[in-house]
Amino acid sequence: MKFNTLYNWPKMSQEEFDHKCSIIRLIVENYIRLNDWFSQFIELINQENQNPSSEVYLEGQLNGLLPIFILGGIENEAHRTILEDITYEMGITTFNMNMTVEERANYVINACKERLLDI
């Protein structure tokens, strides 16, 4: 099967682009929702904790953005790390902004698309 990777998103047909973006948007929205939930959960359990933690075991067991990388043909680990960092940082910085999860996901996706052009 021949398909364009996300590195070549400007060369995709509108149909292919829209299809991939709809799948990616759902994954990013879930990623943002889960990170928001984990952040609130960690804050709650650390309120009275003498040794606060910033990690939850389950958080490391989730697939995160891996489905996007598979769908988009992003195999280079360094590139994956760059995109994960963008997604995580933008998810955290938009947490208290007056934006819906959908708006936050679009914000992240646009930043990642632009970064892919530079890679």
Q: Give the pLDDT confidence score for residue 42 in this predicted structure.
A: 74
pTM of the prediction?
0.77
Q: What is the DSSP letter of 98?
A: S
pLDDT tops 60 at residue 97 = yes
Domain positions in the chain: 13-44+62-118
**Mean pLDDT of all residues belonging to the chain:** 86
The 8 Å CB, 24+ separation contacts for 5-9 are 5/72, 5/73, 5/74, 6/68, 6/71, 6/72, 6/73, 6/74, 6/113, 6/116, 7/72, 7/73, 7/74, 7/116, 7/119, 9/113, 9/116
Distance of alpha carbon 117 from alpha carbon 4, whole angstroms: 14
Q: Give the pLDDT confidence score for residue 85 in this predicted structure.
A: 94
Q: Give the pLDDT confidence score for residue 58 in this predicted structure.
A: 56
pLDDT digits (tens, 9 = 90+) for 34-48: 888 888 877 777 677
